[in-house]
Structure 1
Amino acid sequence: MFIPLHCHSTCSFHAGVCSPEDLATRAASYGFKAIALTDTDRMGGLIRFYLACREHGIKPILGVELTDPSARQASPASRIPMAESEGNPSSSRSGDARAGQPSNAIVLLAKNAEGYGDLCEIITQRHVDPGFSFAKVFAKPWPNLFFLTGFPHLLRQLAATPNRASLYGELVNNGALTRRRSRELEVVTRKFDLPLAATNNSYFLDPDDHDTHRILSAIGLVSTLSRLEPHETASRNAFLKSADQMGRMFPDHPDAIANTARIADDCNVELELGQWILPRIDVPNGHTPESYLAKIAWDGLEQHYAGTNAYPRAKEIQATELDIITRLGYPSYFIMVKQVRDWANERLSEGYRRHKDCTILRGSAANSITFYNIGASDLDPIKYDLYFQRFLNEERASPPDADLDFGWDERDDVLEHVVDKWGRDRVAITCTTNHFRGRAAFRETAKVFGYPEEEISEIQKSLKTKTRRVHDDELERIMTIAQRIKGKPRFLGQHPGGLLITNDPIRRHVACEYSGGPKNRLITQVDMHSGIDELGLIKFDLLGNGSLSVLRDGLRQLSEQGYPDPEVWDLEKCYHDERVLDIIRKGRTKGIFYIESPAQTRLNKKAQVESFEELAITSSLVRPAGASYTATFIERHRKAKAGITDWEYLHPSLEPILKDAHDVCAFQEDVTKICHEVAGLSFKKADRIRKMMNSLHEGELSETLLRQTAEEFMQGCIDTSGLSREQAVELWNRVGSFTGFSFCKSHSASYAQLSFQCTYLKAYYPAQFLSAVISNQHGFYTKDVYLNEARRWGIRILPLSINESNNGYHGKHNWIRPGLMHVRNLTQKSLGSLLLERNANGHYRNLTDFIRRVDIGRKEIEKLILVGAFDGFGLAQPELLYQLDGVYGRLKPSAPSLFDSAEGLAQELHPGLKDYTLAERCLNELELLGFMLSGNILEILSMHPTSRNAVPAARISEHVDQRIKVFGWPVTRRVHHVSPERSRRTTHSGQPMLFITIEDKTEVTDVVFWPDVYDRFADTLAEPGPFEIWGTVSEEWGTYTLEADTITAVTWSPNVVDLDLASRRLENSFKDYAPYADIQPTVAA
């Protein structure tokens, strides 16, 4: 009986065509009792394959096709056995080291679980050890592996190693092995008395998949189909064959067929899936992790709750949590999270913080009172009614998953600490798998057909804007093939936070490789969806959060400027400060983490948010899952504020769950609670339904499964809580409409806390806050928008200065000084030298003094002059450039002896040159900074002829139901696909519409292009702007939107308008429309 021992899946990137699951399904349909998966140098699909085979009742054989990077060999595609054309190397592309060279590969198959660990070990070595070679790795015995190779020279080498007893010659006859190689292989096996095993080295399931395989191979080789050599791909015959077909292919080698079954009989890998692997934790003497966790949890409980009304409830919840945590075996995980946060709060706060809370524990982990009591979380689960069972319960199959946020620029320090603490060989980051998506699949397919990049971009643009129809036969074929490769994996990336820590070398559990790039982290080959949980590896997310850096940098500026401690750490004061609440209610939230997007701003204004709890709700409702509930919530919430409650709960059992959101599902927990408490389902089933809602949104659920789940839910509601059939149906419809991405309550609450802190900082110290936002470059908008926001708050933007500007922006009182970080092509080395010298020896006296003291290139100095950094020396920029030409060579630090003469020469180089015009300065700044400092682009734009009769964005509220014109720059754009139930207008399901935000000098305003308008103007909307837009102003709950009917892209240049006039008006550019200038910044004593 033949058993396939050499098969590839899509995890052989740019070569395999079928998924691991499809391979198992086909094997079962052929009646195979076992099958092997052997992807090239990769093990990312093995766990999926293992589970799929078990589901079909066949034995999974876990293997890999290993190549030797130390040999001169081709890319993955050219390691495919050669087609019958003989694969003459001389016919390969001239100078292409990837193609036409002798291949070498060995198939390794695991005999048992120890052998699986050996595979992980070898593959990791293959990717991370620069000295890896077959000779080196196979010099030692690997008794838990089988070895197969079809290359005679490798067979000879392996026969001389300790692994000879498990070695087979691989006989392939799929049109890829020449008669010469076949004869040579048989000679070698007879000489060394080695057995043969027959394989087909399959890359796809059916002959018709060959075209897809060739496309993928060409993409991997960065080749076109016309240049693809025959030996660079598998032959059309390299598909998975049945046992009968293989028997007919090897009529003279029944032994080679029989040996496949013998090998399969000896391959019995039983993985202990679901056995959680936790790192070793240091605890004080006399304690176990269990006892130590209990001690610090109870100590924290006394500190938080002793003497309060919540004390009895807190003790009850703490006891229950500790019992579950201990029985599930997770005390070490909780202590690990605490230890990492404690280290971060201690070490990262040194030098510039007077407060050490520089991290956030978010996600469902913040539901835990244990994390709160041990000091790993700042959220009180009792006060905010957080739901521990969303994070952890006895029926949950997946392990706990804690997310810990740090400043974006501090995360690497924390990662290095974790590596140092637990060991470099025991820490890796979860990979992500990048797949071909629609546009990328089309683009890559078109490239292998020979289309140039520019033409592909034009085709995609015209198809998107519907200015081109598919009528070309080749284009239709490209689109058809692109659909076939859509969804297939392309390459691995690095998870933004998913850290894995084990108690022994991680490479014994999962194959790893380096991520590449400057940080080159060790990443797994298995991603979160392909077996990390099943392998027992528990993910711990360490994530960079730009707004924590903003908060830190804003506070640091205040400290350096002598301000008293701001009250951002007095959370109750933040939550009830009227100035803070007014900013949120009125949508003045640009720069404020989590609540600055146009959608969130509109929702907060409509709901008139005025509490921490309300912000947590709205910031979850704005996500896709809650979108269908938003209007109902706003209406009921506004009525509730007015003391009106004219609606009833669907059923009384829902009131304890949904009372805060007025009978509306706002959080993930709401679905879980309804399923468990109202429908009486187990936590496991309740959590499964919660997860199903996301799959329902993505169209991944079968109708049968959905009907079965709905019936179980509705019957449970009737039996458990006494709902009528009609009520049960309605409740299921509600749960079923909560589809797509959503947040758990503790996640929203954790981020709402940071939002309030940032709002407090903006309310009282706007210059310091906004300068920190721009410096960290992690806001929703571009730096231009934040600079304009600062102007609206009455803050002056000062010029760049070689003596006053730092790397980043800094603010004080009512001004912001831009940083040098945005000067294009100014190297970090030069910028660092400039700042270090200035800090060490004081301000620069003039240009010559600067050149003498700083080792910096002439071109870089030129750029600094043209952006105004030397304007403070009192010379025109052309004069400075003239002076630079005359003295640069003499004033280099390497020529100090020429200093006196050069200094004297510089005094003479003031030829009285006229300075650049404002237009020229603006153009230089646009080119070298990406924005203007000498002029205000919005003020200049307001003088454009097109702006006549345009209504200022700040005043569209005065024109409700009127058709008006606005003129400005687009600062956000987002395409939505709408359906009738989610649109205020009747439209066909799935039609695209566009929301954009337009900015003029007065404010920003939201503009909507309904599907019919978007269809007509999609091409125009792809332009950068500025735009002249006509439409009708609509009002909804105090927010205003322009419903566009016409748009024109306007050609613009600083020379179009009178820039000198603009300069004279610049100081007062926002005077008429500065609604925030009345908010006076707090000034240090």
Structure 2
Amino acid sequence: MYLNCHSYYSLRYGTIKPERLLAIASENGIQTLALTDINNTSACLDFVRLSNNYKIKPVLGIDFRNRAKQQFILIAKNNNGFYNINQYLSAFLHNPDLEIPEQAPQLEDTFVVYPYIHNKTYTLKTNEFLGIKPQDLNHLKFSKWNAFRSKLVVLQTVSFENKKGFNTHRLLRAIDNNTLLSKLPKTEQGDPTDRLLPYNELCNSYQEFPELLENTSSLLEDCTINFDFSQEVPNNQRSYTNNELLDFKLLKRLTYQGLHYRYKKPGERIFKRIEKELEIIKEKGFVSYFLINWKILKYARSKGYFYVGRGSGANSIIAYLLRITDVDPVELDLYFERFINLYRKNPPDFDLDFSWRDRDDITQFIFSRFKNTALIAVYNTFKFRASVRELGKVFGLPKAEMDVLTRGKYNINQLDALSQLVIKYSTYIQGFPNYLGIHAGGIIISEKPIHYYTATFMPPKGFATTQFDMVVAEDIGLYKFDILSQRGLGKIKEAVNIIRYNHPEKAPIDIHDIKRFKQDENIKNLLRHAKAIGCFYVESPAMRMLLKKLQVDTYLGLVAASSVIRPGVSKSGMMREYILRYRYPERRKEAHPVLLKIMPETYGVMVYQEDVIKVAHYFGGLTLGEADMLRRGMSGKFRSREEFLKVKQQFFDNCKKEGKPYELTEDIWRQIESFAGYAFAKGHSASYAVESYQSLFLKAYYPLEYMVATINNFGGFYRTELYVHEARMHGGVIEAPCVNESFNETIIKGKTIYLGFMFLHAFESKTVKRLLQERKKNGPFKSLDDFIDRVPISIEQISILIKINAFRFTEVNKRELLWEAYLKISKTVIQEHVTDLFKTERVNYKTPELPSTTLEHAFDEIELLGFSLCSPFHLIENHVRNPLRAAQFAKFKDKIITIEGYLVTTKTTVTSNGKYMYFGTFLDRDGDFIDTVHFPPIATKFPFRGHGIYSITGKVLEEFDCITIEVITMYKLAVVEDPRYSDTIKHLTA
């Protein structure tokens, strides 16, 4: 009897979770239920999947509305009808300016239900009906439609479960309308009676109109929707060539063609591995998946795009030979079953990383090359703090009160009634979907049209996007292609180009010659001493310290380190154990014999995701299929599903049956559980290590060029300032932007680095464009007057250039230049210059001599670049003559020292008892790193107070050749007074 039910995917309107909707219906004796969310299909597939658990027949449709005003409901007779409805809705979601009309379209295999409005004229087609709400029944008795009961159906809308649900609905509507709850119009909210009633109670409401009950029942009986959730056959594009037999032949041919590129003398082991993989790929129906990835990357190579293929797919030799990945699974002995096995239903996982500059073109290629393509959505949910702010506004709370609530520093019993309501309902709506976003890189390429499964919306990127997320996509057998972007690849690509122009005499660099890089002594030296600032994945303070502790200087060592650093390994306490066993071979004897036999390479310590599968299989007695399900459960994909708990129980039961001590089983399980989706697949780590080696090579041989590329790609782990500092440490001469030398991006000439105009705060791109075009056309600028004559510019924009000393070639003091600029440039709207027949001679005003100081330059640089180009230690108010440097710390082991450090970055962590502690990274006066530890009592008493120079007192500690300072006291040092405003301040305070 229910044709119009909303879940909380009726965004900012409905308040019932889809599964709860089914549960309520089951409790109330409902056997058929139509889910018709408002302009949304996010819950549809999950609703169908879950309905069988509640013995409810699912029906799908969409409630078409303009804001809260209901126009009509479209209900699908079958899958074709659902496809037609999705296609119709998508037209509006792709163009938000379109309003949904009052008249429904004529769509095949659909029913239309219009909400009954008294005295309104309706002309109904065969498949169209009027929906009569219980409150409409009295009107109906006196309406002409009373004589046409065959066209009437029951319309009991369901949007909330109870009074609390209705109150929540009103709050969501107020948030959506950005209004106070007291001012929310009735037209923007539902009726308090819009809830699910017991079947008999609903029927009793319509007892005088039995025909309506019969019509509704008949309509629902005519509807059948079916989706296959067995995942036996993927629903991705089935064939690359439109012929599955030809697909396999092509895959096999490409595989063997790639042999000579990868191996000089392939042996029997290689050929056996190829045949084994080809057989399983064919049997599981993943041939087209490989070929589509191959095609995407073939296009990328044709465009000269750098990429990294990683994920579990890196365990495949077929992927290696097709150049999807650069990881040799034979060399690394990668566990093939992590990648794909006969028990695993989902396909391999390829994460394809591109430069952030190239990714959009790759996405465009995929959409143009493959027919049924869409991005995958993510559900952006209400977070508690954001909800507090939103509901605080709805209730009209002052900002100060909202700040108290969001910080969580309150006693709930001491809050006033409104504040208590804000907290109560913020907790309730936490986790509700708020709006749809785009998955970081997931794309689906389907055999059937995308609208067979979902409607699509059009985000600003301009690519159609599903209304469901990746978990629902996998449920229905649609497996994503991950097209991701990262700045590391942009840095590598740009560095190669910079080297080409700054060192034209050098031979072209083969950045893909990884085998040579692995043997390079200079790279090994950088790794051993963790001199890897700017290098992909190995530059963070934590990774820098781990490299030192492990004394890594090999590719395999770096592969292990890339995974050991992950929270799953470190959280379990196994990172420290791995370091001990790595450095001290005698510690390896302490490993459990079974675990040591399973994982000899990592000394019995779980480091990779494959290790979870190995331990679950060999130690816990699980089948490969169960072990992989356990691994997926740990990754969070099935964390809430029953099958994960069943597999966990099976693990314990098997160990008990084999007589393993419960304490040991529990300890092994704890180690497995601590991975919780954080550990990498070994192939994934190996892929990262390849990119690390590429960046390490560039850093070892072309540090300045590589730092310029890093700066232009907006750095990595650190702020731009540190990469400028690193360039200076390698002999670079850093110059502020110059109107005659600089470009939008940073450039290098020999060893001189000119920072780009794009780093100047508030400097407009259109001004940069004019400046560069004019300079290219008519040559360098000779003076400020020459610049003003040739480049249309406002006083605000030229002031930025003068303050950053971009006219220093004139050798005129910048204060004098500012005076000149203010006298010669009007504050009118800037227009493009029109070439004059006769050049107007400018009046040269006599300006007073106004010298500026080095300190003024530094403060201008801080204002415009975010950092000064001089040493920050020059800006301390009281100069400290402390001779101690970080390089001398080894002499002071276990002693208390005091040193000054410039703060680079901090990391926060929570202790086991829930208190905050910190790790700090500073630079000393020589530019070397100081690493600090701040335990909770000290962190509370001596907090960080933003960037600047701190006086640090603490104990020098050494562990595994890594030196840190355990902080005892820490104070931020005062900087000198800003000389640009000192005269003004003195005048005002006189």
Normalised TM-score (structure 1): 0.83
Alpha-carbon distance change, 302 to 948 in structure 1, aligned in 2, over 3 angstroms: closer
Equivalent in 46, 51, 71 of residue 48 of structure 1: 46
Indicate the residue corresponding to 1:939 in structure 2.
Answer: 873
CA distance in 1 between counterparts of 2:974 and 2:151 reads 76
Indicate the residue corresponding to 1:1062 in structure 2.
Answer: none
Moved more, 190-199 or 122-131: 190-199
CA distance in 2 between counterparts of 1:448 and 1:1029 reads 46
SS at match of 1:575: helix
Number of equivalences: 972
CA distance in 1 between counterparts of 2:929 and 2:31 reads 66
| One-letter identity of the residue aligned with 2:236 | L
Offset at residue 602 of structure 1 (A): 1.5
**Is 1:864 aligned to 2:801, yes or no?**
yes
SS at match of 1:779: coil
SS at match of 1:490: strand
Equivalent in 150, 158, 166 of residue 127 of structure 2: 166
Indicate the residue corresponding to 1:439 in structure 2.
Answer: 385
Moved more, 951-960 or 436-445: 951-960
Moved more, 725-734 or 361-370: 725-734
Offset at residue 307 of structure 1 (A): 2.7
Equivalent in 433, 457, 460 of residue 406 of structure 2: 460
**Is 1:66 aligned to 2:10, yes or no?**
no
1:370-407 CA distance string (max 9 Å, x none)? 11112222111101112232222222222333211111
Alpha-carbon distance change, 963 to 441 in structure 1, aligned in 2, over 3 angstroms: farther
CA distance in 1 between counterparts of 2:323 and 2:103 reads 47
| One-letter identity of the residue aligned with 1:927 | E
Alpha-carbon distance change, 736 to 416 in structure 1, aligned in 2, over 3 angstroms: closer
Indicate the residue corresponding to 1:376 in structure 2.
Answer: 324
Indicate the residue corresponding to 1:352 in structure 2.
Answer: none
| One-letter identity of the residue aligned with 2:500 | S
**Is 1:494 aligned to 2:438, yes or no?**
yes
Alpha-carbon distance change, 858 to 521 in structure 1, aligned in 2, over 3 angstroms: farther
| One-letter identity of the residue aligned with 2:252 | A
| One-letter identity of the residue aligned with 1:548 | L
Alpha-carbon distance change, 810 to 151 in structure 1, aligned in 2, over 3 angstroms: farther
Equivalent in 425, 436, 443 of residue 481 of structure 1: 425
Offset at residue 951 of structure 1 (A): 5.6
CA distance in 2 between counterparts of 1:581 and 1:24 reads 60
| One-letter identity of the residue aligned with 1:395 | Y
**Is 1:149 aligned to 2:114, yes or no?**
yes
CA distance in 1 between counterparts of 2:387 and 2:881 reads 45
**Is 1:975 aligned to 2:917, yes or no?**
no
| One-letter identity of the residue aligned with 2:964 | T
Equivalent in 693, 696, 702 of residue 756 of structure 1: 693
Q: Which runs of 5+ in 2 are unaligned?
A: 983-990
Moved more, 201-210 or 912-921: 912-921
**Is 1:894 aligned to 2:833, yes or no?**
yes
Written as runs of structure 1 = structure 2, the 5 A alignment for 1:866-945 is: 866-888=803-825, 894-897=833-836, 900-902=839-841, 905=842, 908-909=844-845, 911=847, 913-933=849-869, 935-936=870-871, 938-941=872-875, 943-945=876-878
Written as runs of structure 1 = structure 2, the 5 A alignment for 1:547-566 is: 547-561=488-502, 562=504, 563-566=506-509
CA distance in 2 between counterparts of 1:437 and 1:312 reads 56
Equivalent in 984, 988, 992 of residue 916 of structure 2: 992
SS at match of 1:165: coil
CA distance in 1 between counterparts of 2:302 and 2:119 reads 55
**Is 1:962 aligned to 2:960, yes or no?**
no
Indicate the residue corresponding to 2:255 in structure 1.
Answer: 297
CA distance in 2 between counterparts of 1:1028 and 1:237 reads 66
**Is 1:1011 aligned to 2:936, yes or no?**
yes
Offset at residue 64 of structure 1 (A): 1.4
Alpha-carbon distance change, 242 to 959 in structure 1, aligned in 2, over 3 angstroms: farther
1:452-481 CA distance string (max 9 Å, x none)? 4465345534x3xx5988731343332222
Offset at residue 184 of structure 1 (A): 6.5
Normalised TM-score (structure 2): 0.91
**Is 1:591 aligned to 2:530, yes or no?**
no
Question: Does the CA-based 8 Å contact 1:169-1:189 persist in structure 2?
Answer: no
Indicate the residue corresponding to 2:987 in structure 1.
Answer: none
CA distance in 2 between counterparts of 1:658 and 1:633 reads 12
Question: Does the CA-based 8 Å contact 1:944-1:1056 persist in structure 2?
Answer: no
1:335-374 CA distance string (max 9 Å, x none)? 111111111111135xxxxxxxx11111111111111112
Moved more, 231-240 or 204-213: 231-240
Written as runs of structure 1 = structure 2, the 5 A alignment for 1:125-144 is: 125-129=91-95, 132=98, 138-139=104-105, 141-144=106-109
CA distance in 2 between counterparts of 1:757 and 1:305 reads 20
Equivalent in 780, 784, 790 of residue 721 of structure 2: 784
CA distance in 2 between counterparts of 1:1054 and 1:363 reads 53
1:1034-1073 CA distance string (max 9 Å, x none)? 32212233333444455545538999xxxxxxxxxxxxxx
Indicate the residue corresponding to 2:466 in structure 1.
Answer: 524
Indicate the residue corresponding to 2:394 in structure 1.
Answer: 448
| One-letter identity of the residue aligned with 1:996 | G
Offset at residue 547 of structure 1 (A): 0.7
Q: Which runs of 5+ in 1 are unaligned?
A: 69-74, 80-102, 350-357, 980-987, 1060-1085
CA distance in 1 between counterparts of 2:837 and 2:859 reads 36
| TM superposition outliers: structure 1 runs of 4+ over 6 Å | 284-287, 467-470, 722-726, 889-892, 1056-1059
Indicate the residue corresponding to 1:267 in structure 2.
Answer: 223
SS at match of 1:104: strand
CA distance in 2 between counterparts of 1:844 and 1:831 reads 14
Indicate the residue corresponding to 1:658 in structure 2.
Answer: 599
Alpha-carbon distance change, 959 to 694 in structure 1, aligned in 2, over 3 angstroms: farther
CA distance in 2 between counterparts of 1:169 and 1:1016 reads 70
Alpha-carbon distance change, 542 to 740 in structure 1, aligned in 2, over 3 angstroms: closer
1:227-286 CA distance string (max 9 Å, x none)? 223443234332222113323444433433343322221221012343433347665999
SS at match of 1:901: coil
Alpha-carbon distance change, 171 to 893 in structure 1, aligned in 2, over 3 angstroms: closer
CA distance in 2 between counterparts of 1:877 and 1:455 reads 47
| One-letter identity of the residue aligned with 1:36 | A
Written as runs of structure 1 = structure 2, the 5 A alignment for 1:499-898 is: 499-503=443-447, 505-516=449-460, 519-529=461-471, 531-561=472-502, 562=504, 563-566=506-509, 568-627=511-570, 628-640=573-585, 644=586, 646-652=588-594, 654-655=595-596, 657-695=598-636, 706=645, 709-716=647-654, 728-888=665-825, 894-897=833-836
SS at match of 1:288: helix
Indicate the residue corresponding to 1:982 in structure 2.
Answer: none
Alpha-carbon distance change, 287 to 250 in structure 1, aligned in 2, over 3 angstroms: closer
Indicate the residue corresponding to 2:72 in structure 1.
Answer: 106
Alpha-carbon distance change, 235 to 930 in structure 1, aligned in 2, over 3 angstroms: same
Question: Does the CA-based 8 Å contact 1:593-1:755 persist in structure 2?
Answer: yes
| One-letter identity of the residue aligned with 1:20 | P
| One-letter identity of the residue aligned with 2:833 | S
Indicate the residue corresponding to 1:412 in structure 2.
Answer: 360
Alpha-carbon distance change, 931 to 453 in structure 1, aligned in 2, over 3 angstroms: farther
CA distance in 2 between counterparts of 1:950 and 1:215 reads 62
SS at match of 2:4: coil
Moved more, 378-387 or 273-282: 273-282
Question: Does the CA-based 8 Å contact 1:66-1:105 persist in structure 2?
Answer: yes
Offset at residue 972 of structure 1 (A): 2.6
Offset at residue 613 of structure 1 (A): 0.9
Offset at residue 655 of structure 1 (A): 4.0
Alpha-carbon distance change, 408 to 312 in structure 1, aligned in 2, over 3 angstroms: same
Written as runs of structure 1 = structure 2, the 5 A alignment for 1:256-335 is: 256-273=212-229, 274=231, 275-279=233-237, 283=241, 288-301=246-259, 303-305=261-263, 307-308=265-266, 311-335=267-291
CA distance in 2 between counterparts of 1:781 and 1:154 reads 67
Offset at residue 649 of structure 1 (A): 4.1
Offset at residue 42 of structure 1 (A): 0.3
Offset at residue 618 of structure 1 (A): 1.2
SS at match of 2:978: helix
CA distance in 2 between counterparts of 1:450 and 1:581 reads 61
Alpha-carbon distance change, 432 to 449 in structure 1, aligned in 2, over 3 angstroms: same
Equivalent in 134, 145, 169 of residue 189 of structure 1: 145
Indicate the residue corresponding to 1:385 in structure 2.
Answer: 333
